[in-house]
Amino acid sequence: MEELKNNLGKILIAGPCALESRLQLRECVKALKEDGVKIIRASLWKPRTSPGWEGLGDEGIDILLEETIPHGLIPATEVIYAEHVEKIIRELKKYGTDATAVLWLGARNQNHLEQQRIARAIANSGMNIYLMAKNQAWHDERHWVGICEHLLSGGMPKDRVLLCHRGFCPGLLPNPREYRNLPDMLMAMRVQAKTEVPMILDPSHIGGTRDNVIDIMLEGELYPFDGMIVEVHCNPDEALTDAKQQLKPQRLRQHMDRLEAVQ
């Protein structure tokens, strides 16, 4: 896990919600690299609430790898099926057997048979791939711990598993700040302790708006999270997905400068 950490000892993953084009990613990577970000997120297969653009899919794999690995960066993307993992592994191998990537299961991926297949595909590949699991959309501690257990039972080595708190669907709960998803920081800390794997925070999918994202990043600092995954886009208003919540790189940099100053 050490290779995922930045100079503050945290796992910081940043980048656009979705990979939209090579130029979009290139511009974002350039800014983030200057700011010391080592892990670049950009999703290829986008689960959508309503029908719409679903991401570049398979044709984005090469773009993601080519725009990160040769620059000394680690690519990160969501996978929905074990077939996605297999396609990524095939391309990743071209960069050598020690090439590194972070893959994750999104909040909507709740089929434990598929979770195990994904874990198995990674474990059997022998590649240096980390697998992150976000919490499911509904508020249930046992289920979230269970996701981690399914990944381990599928053969994923524990030292390459991490978890991510992206909040829970508000449902009928009070939501005065109109967060997109409600955080339960204390549950995240309990799951971190129970599973003994790193837990990072996703302020983007909790906040849902740029100002809320910043507030959640600040709130997250009060808890011992192991890092953060943040959506960053150079032209967020034009983003094809999650336009309201993606930060410009400058805004993430301001936050990182503040964190460094208080260290």
> Closest approach of Cβ 103 to ligand PEP, in Å?
12
Could you give the string, one character per residue 132-151, with x where binding to ligand PEP holds by CB under 6 A and - elsewhere? --x-----------------
- Angstrom CA distances, 49 to 20, 71, 76, 244, 247, stand at 18, 34, 22, 15, 21
The alpha-helical segments, DSSP class H, found in 133-202 are 141-153, 185-195
How deeply is 22 buried, as exposed, middle or buried, from its count of CB atoms within 10 A (0-12, 13-18, 19+)? middle
Closer to Mn ion at the Cβ: 74 or 230? Answer: 230
Closer to ligand PEP at the Cβ: 90 or 143? Answer: 143
CB atoms within 10 A of CB 103: 20
Closer to ligand PEP at the Cβ: 10 or 108? Answer: 108
> Closest approach of Cβ 138 to ligand PEP, in Å?
13
Closer to ligand PEP at the Cβ: 95 or 244? Answer: 244
In the chain the beta strands, taken as DSSP E runs, fall at: 11-15, 39-41, 74-78, 100-105, 128-134, 161-165, 199-201, 227-231
Q: Over the range 237-246, which residues count as b (16 or more CB within 10 Å of their CB) and which as e?
A: eebbbbeebb
User: Site residues for Mn ion, window 191-250 (CB under 5 A)?
Assistant: 242
Note whether 205 binds ligand PEP by CB under 6 A.
yes
Size of the site for ligand PEP (CB under 6 A): 9
Closer to ligand PEP at the Cβ: 108 or 210? Answer: 108
Closer to Mn ion at the Cβ: 159 or 238? Answer: 238
Note whether 166 binds ligand PEP by CB under 6 A.
yes
How deeply is 50 buried, as exposed, middle or buried, from its count of CB atoms within 10 A (0-12, 13-18, 19+)? exposed
Rounded Cα distance between 187 and 57, Å, is 33
User: Site residues for ligand PEP, window 26-85 (CB under 6 A)?
Assistant: 43, 47
Could you give the string, one character per residue 3-42, with x where binding to Mn ion holds by CB under 5 A and - elsewhere? --------------x-------------------------
Find tokens 């740029």 and name the residue.
Answer: 210
Note whether 236 binds ligand PEP by CB under 6 A.
no
> Closest approach of Cβ 182 to ligand PEP, in Å?
13
> Closest approach of Cβ 151 to ligand PEP, in Å?
16
Counting Cα atoms < 13 Å in the Cβ hemisphere of 234 gives 13
User: Site residues for ligand PEP, window 82-111 (CB under 6 A)?
Assistant: 106-108
Pull the structure tokens for residue 136: 């499911």
Per CB under 5 A, residues contacting Mn ion are 17, 242
